[in-house]
Amino acid sequence: MPELPEVEVVRAGLAPAVAHSTVLGVSVLDERALTRHPGDGSDFEAALTGRRLRGAVRRGKFLWLPLEPRTGDGAAEQAVVGHLGMSGQLLLRAPGSAPERHERVRIDLAHPVHGEVSVVFADQRTFGSLAIDDLVATPDGAAGGFGGDEASVPRQVAHIARDPLDPAFSDAGFRRALTRKDSAIKRVLLDQTVISGVGNIYADESLWAARIHPETPARDLSTRAVNRTLAEVRHVLDKALAEGGTSFDAQYVNVNGQAGYFAHSLNAYGRTGEPCPRCGRPIMRVSFTNRSSHFCAHCQRLPRRPRA
């Protein structure tokens, strides 16, 4: 599933094409792409056609395209909200181009400088979605997400925590949250209501870099260990961003259809049985909910809890 770096690469690619563009037309080819939208395909097409887009914003794994308010109707400000699910793609294509494989929705735009372009939402497994949603104020008064200045966020994204690359992310608040969590630190890193944008790949990589066992109870971590974990999460995410994200197959690509290269830099995730780059002992893989955890049992030792 795309995580923060992959979604941010897509957002950054969309931003110059969609900012200040006007929607010429919308074609919904598969209404399964609108599972988060309150209406049907015809409603989505009608509600979006003729509207002007203001840019592209991201929080965690969600991105949205804020819409210019309709003049004089007094309705709430809105945005087109996108979630890529497991295999969703947002691609920029020339107007009138041939349909993409697994194309679900096409949005035709006219940009005042760059001319016409189409945004295509393609999704092989149909777990991703697009929706038009009302914007609500952020509780802390800071910008809703990366790439935007407005202190608002789509209603269906409001429960998602800020991500560690967000300037408004609170390190102190994260440390306080961990003191109340008896669950494993990896489970907390994957909890999008505590910290967003970190999925299985980058949780494994960050914990390996911080030398912390994924099953360590979050509340048992010292302040120094929490700070080290946050620092490594940010370092891993920044490095993945610089390399265009992680691509294991053709399902994750940027807006131009190009793959990311961070898979070549992984130290733990997907390297079962291979030597740990730090100590040379084999990387282990254990079952974790419906996924797997990859770690070095020598470098990332599970601390013993004192007996009651």
Interval 168-196 mean pLDDT: 96
| Residue 6 CB-density burial (10 A; 0-12 exposed, 13-18 middle, 19+ buried) | buried
For 121-147, the pLDDT digits (tens) are 999 999 999 999 999 999 999 999 999
Residue 25 has a CB neighbour count (10 Å cut-off) of 15
Q: Is the pLDDT of residue 180 over 90?
A: yes
Interval 198-225 mean pLDDT: 96
For 267-308, the pLDDT digits (tens) are 999 999 999 999 999 999 999 878 899 999 999 999 876 554
- pLDDT band for 109, please (50, 70, 90 cuts): very high
Sign of CA dihedral 261, 264, 269, 271: positive
Give the pLDDT score at 2. 78
Which residues contribute to the annotated binding site for DNA?
A: 102, 125, 181
Question: What's the chain's average pLDDT?
Answer: 91
Query: Which spans in the chain are helix H?
Result: 4-18, 41-48, 171-179, 185-189, 200-210, 223-242
Catalytic residue numbers read 2-3, 61, 291
Q: Is the pLDDT of residue 249 over 50?
A: no
**Cα 178 to the chain's mean position, in Å?**
22
**Strand 129-137 relative to strand 62-66: parallel, antiparallel, unpaired?**
unpaired
- C-alpha to C-alpha distances, 99 to 96, 106, 297, nearest whole angstrom: 9, 9, 48
Give the pLDDT score at 75. 76
Contact 281, 298 (CB under 8 A): yes
Give the pLDDT score at 183. 95
Sorted by where each starts, the structural domains of the chain and their CATH numbers stand as 4-157 (3.20.190.10), 171-295 (1.10.8.50)
Lookup: tokens for 191: 């909890």
For 19-48, the pLDDT digits (tens) are 999 999 999 999 999 999 999 999 999 999
Instruction: Give percent of the chain above pLDDT 90.
Output: 81
Q: Is the pLDDT of residue 209 over 90?
A: yes
Long-range contacts of 273-276 (CB under 8 A, 24+ apart): none
**Cα 70 to the chain's mean position, in Å?**
29
Which residues contribute to the annotated binding site?
A: 102, 125, 181
Q: Kindly report the pTM of this predicted structure.
A: 0.90
C-alpha closest to that of 6 among 61, 71, 78, 55 = 61
- pLDDT band for 3, please (50, 70, 90 cuts): confident
Give the pLDDT score at 291. 85
